[in-house]
Amino acid sequence: MKKKLISLLLALALLAAFTACSAETPQTQSASSQTISSDVSIEPSSSGPEEPGFSAELKLSGVGITLPVRFAGSKGILQLSGGVEIGPGLNFSDFKYYAMTQEKYDELIAKDRAGTITEEEVAWFMARNIDLLVFFTADGTKSESDVIAAAEQMTIPAQQIRKLGSAGDYTFYGALNPLASMIDFEKEIVFDEGYREEFDALLKILEEDSSVLRFFEPEASSSGAAAGSAVSFETTDLDGNSVRSEDLFKEHTLTMVNLWGTYCGPCIGEMPDLEQLNRKLESKNCAIIGIVIDVPSAQNAEMVSAAKEILSATGVTYPNLCVFNGLDSVFPAQFVPTSYFVDSDGRIVGEAAIGARGAEDYEKLIDEILATLP
C-alpha cells in the first residue's frame, strides 16, 4: 500500500492549497465510455453542428461547458470536476484532459486502488494529465484580488487570471492551460500520437468561443447538522471492534468528529496537526475521532489497508471508525474534511468546521465551544 499512498499524494499535488475535497461527481467523456455514473451520462450527437459533442455542469460551482459535435467521442478523456472550497466564498473547479484512452485510465486507477501501481506508471499518468481550464467561483464577498491571491497560492500567475462571467452575486474567473506557466510544459507533458492535435483544438475553442461556457448561481451546499441534534450510531473501528456512540462521547466533555476520505489530499495534509491537537486536548478532557467515509466496513480489506497506511504515514493514533448506516443524516457533509463537535450527552454543539485547518485554529474553535457549555 506504500505505492498507493505515493500515487494519491502525487495525484493531489496541485491541490496542496485546497482546504476541502468535493463530494460532487466528476463528469467525464471519452471515445470508449460515455456513461460516468448511474445518474449522469453524456450522449454525443451527430445530427448537426448545433448539437453538443460534450455537455456537463457542476451545480456546486455554477459552471457548465458545452462543446461542438466534433468533440463527441474524443480521443482523450474530458473531465469537468470540482466544487472544491478553497476558502470562505471561493470555490475551485477544473476542466481536464487526460491524453490517454479510457481503458488505460481505468487500468491505472484499478492498479492504484489495489496498491499495485508502480512509480513509473504514476509518472506516466501524471505526464498525460492536463488542466485545460481552471475556474474560480467567487461570491459577493470576494474581489478579483482575493481570487488572484488564491491562484498565486496554487502557483498560477496573476496575469493568467481573467474574468469569465457572472450570475447573480457570483463572479467567475479562470485560467487557461495553467500548467504552461507552472512547469516546463513541452518537456514534462507527454502527448502520444494524435492527442496533441486534439488538446490544441480544445484550447483554441475555449480561448476564442465564450459561448461554450455557461455560468449560473451555484446551489447552496449543506452547512451540516443543526446544533442540538442528537447523535446515535453503532459501527466498528478499522480493526473490527464494536463502537457505540454513547460510550464514545460520554468519556469526554467535547469530542471532535473528523470526517475524511483516503482520496482527499487536504484531509491527509491536516492529520499531523490533528494528532498534535488530540494530545494537547487531553488536559481539557476533549478528544478527536475520525470517520473514514470511504471505508464501508472493517471487512473491506483493501480500503482498511489504505486508511491504515495513511494513518501510519501521518502518525495518527486517535481512533478511526468505519462508515455506519445513516452517516449522511447524522453528520451530513458536502465536503471533506468536515468536523463536528459533540458533547458528553451525545449532542452536536456549535457549527461544523468545513475544510482543513491548523491545530491552532481548531483549538481556538474548541475553546469557544467549551466556553458555551454548562
Domain layout of the chain by residue ranges = 13-215, 234-370
H or E stretch including 198?
helix 195-208
Where the chain has pLDDT below 50, the residues are 1-18, 25, 32-50
Q: How far apart are CA 87 and CA 276, in angstroms?
A: 23
What pLDDT score does 41 carry?
A: 25
What pLDDT score does 13 carry?
A: 37
Q: Is 289 helix (H, G, I), strand (E, B) or coil?
A: strand
What pLDDT score does 39 carry?
A: 24
Domain 234-370 has CATH 3.10.290.10: no
What pLDDT score does 142 carry?
A: 95
DSSP state of 237: B
Strand order in the sheet with 286-292: 320-321, 286-292, 254-260, 338-343, 353-354
What pLDDT score does 138 carry?
A: 96
Query: 68 near 52, Cβ under 8 Å?
Result: yes
CB atoms within 10 A of CB 296: 13
Q: How far apart are CA 299 and CA 301, in angstroms?
A: 6
Half-sphere exposure of 122 (CA within 13 A, CB side): 19
What pLDDT score does 224 carry?
A: 60
